[in-house]
């Protein structure tokens, strides 16, 4: 058998043994495995039913003839399925220069963007975002703020937009 990671660099190399170290927390194969992992003789690692706790650095060390060692590593990122966002407004009919409106995007996404009339929201000095970008406050509301608002969420796998919320501004 050969160590596949070595083949990309030096041609096929026979290997004598395999040591697998997984993640920064550093567990190695043995009884403490969750039962979802299988280390194969060809150097591959199969993890069934991946969960967020599986993310991290994975390292494979192959012991080659004459005591030489070859190593390969990679990072596993785990993304939870995105929940389609729900956008709620504190009020959808407001009075110009009197009221404020708070729009909150309910989602499990890390990245949240705001749309106004199906385009990127042009932010003004009256608009404030929460630290996680899921809450947009407009204070005070002006007539030019009237229109459809949406939040758009994404990760490296998916992207979704909320249904639009219509803001009416009375003057």
Task: Give the whole-angstrom CA distance, residue 96 versus residue 39.
Answer: 64
For 71-95, write each residue's pLDDT tens digit.
877 788 887 889 999 999 999 999 9
**Does 86-170 match 4-76 at the fold level?**
yes
Q: Are 113 and 107 in contact (CB under 8 A)?
A: no
Q: CA-CA distances (angstroms) from residue 11 to 7, 14, 80, 146, 165?
A: 4, 10, 38, 65, 59
Task: Give the whole-angstrom CA distance, residue 39 versus residue 61.
Answer: 12
For 47-61, write each residue's pLDDT tens digit.
888 888 888 888 777
For 8-40, write each residue's pLDDT tens digit.
444 444 444 444 444 433 444 444 477 888 877
- Domain 4-76 adopts which CATH fold? Immunoglobulin-like (2.60.40)
The domain limits of the chain are 4-76, 86-170
Q: Domain spanning 86-170: which superfamily? A: Immunoglobulins (2.60.40.10)
């Amino acid at each position: 058998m050969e160590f596949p990671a070595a083949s990309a660099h030096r041609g096929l190399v026979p290997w004598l043994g395999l040591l697998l170290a997984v993640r920064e927390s550093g567990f190695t194969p043995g009884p403490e495995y969750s039962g979802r992992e299988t280390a194969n003789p060809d150097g591959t690692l199969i993890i069934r039913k991946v969960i967020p706790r599986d993310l991290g650095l994975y390292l494979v060390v192959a012991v080659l003839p004459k005591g030489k060692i070859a190593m390969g590593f990679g990072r596993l990122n785990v993304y939870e399925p995105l929940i389609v966002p729900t956008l709620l407004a504190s009020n959808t009919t407001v009075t110009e220069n009197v009221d404020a409106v708070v729009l909150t995007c309910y989602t499990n996404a890390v990245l949240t963007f705001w749309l106004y009339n199906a385009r990127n929201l042009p932010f003004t000095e009256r608009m404030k975002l929460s630290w996680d970008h899921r809450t947009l406050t407009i204070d005070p509301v002006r007539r030019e703020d009237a229109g459809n608002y949406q939040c758009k969420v994404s990760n490296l796998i998916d992207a979704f937009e909320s249904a639009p919320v219509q803001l009416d501004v009375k003057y």
